[in-house]
Amino acid sequence: PPPNSRSDWIGPPDKHSNLRPVIFYVPPEESPLERRLREARQEAQACNQRFWAQQNRAFRQEKEEFIYSRLKAKGLEIRDDTGKKATLNAEEMADFYKDFLSKNFRKHMQYNRDWYKRNFTITFLMGQVALVRALRWLRWKKKNV
């Protein structure tokens, strides 16, 4: 994002977490309320990034391991004669999906609760900031009229 921009910028999805990173603009005369909002958003972003990057990485890794072990059990190699990677069909993968979901259930519950709380806090702070800014703008208009 250009250095003289006065707004936040959002980027392309991250490779690991699929979330889009946001670069927050810090205005020179940032009020404490606005700072709290920005910090809450940064924290939520970092937390989300951590969680999803780790989840996706674990998923990919465990999927590879599962495919490898199943292929070995069937007596096949990871790569077949043409050099392409051998894959299992959806039915065989179903066991893995079920397993992965149940293993990570508690982690997801915890993340859910966390995410909902953060989401509400951030939105509420946004509301407060918007209200304060609106009042300030009204006061400025009254002064200049």
* Sites of contact with another protein (CB under 8 A): 1, 5, 7-13, 17-20, 22-23, 48, 52, 55-56, 59, 90-91, 93-94, 96-98, 100-102, 104-105, 108-109, 111-112, 115-116, 119, 122-123, 126-127, 130
| Distance, CA of 14 to CA of 23 (rounded, Å) | 13
Nearer to another protein, 26 or 90 (CB): 90
Pair of tokens at residue 32:
């404490």
Pair of tokens at residue 96:
């893995």
Nearer to another protein, 39 or 77 (CB): 39
CB of 134 to another protein, least distance (A): 12
CB of 36 to another protein, least distance (A): 15
Backbone angles phi, psi at 79, to 5 degrees: -115, 135
CB of 81 to another protein, least distance (A): 25
| Distance, CA of 120 to CA of 141 (rounded, Å) | 31
Residues 88 and 70: beta-carbon distance below 8 Å:
yes
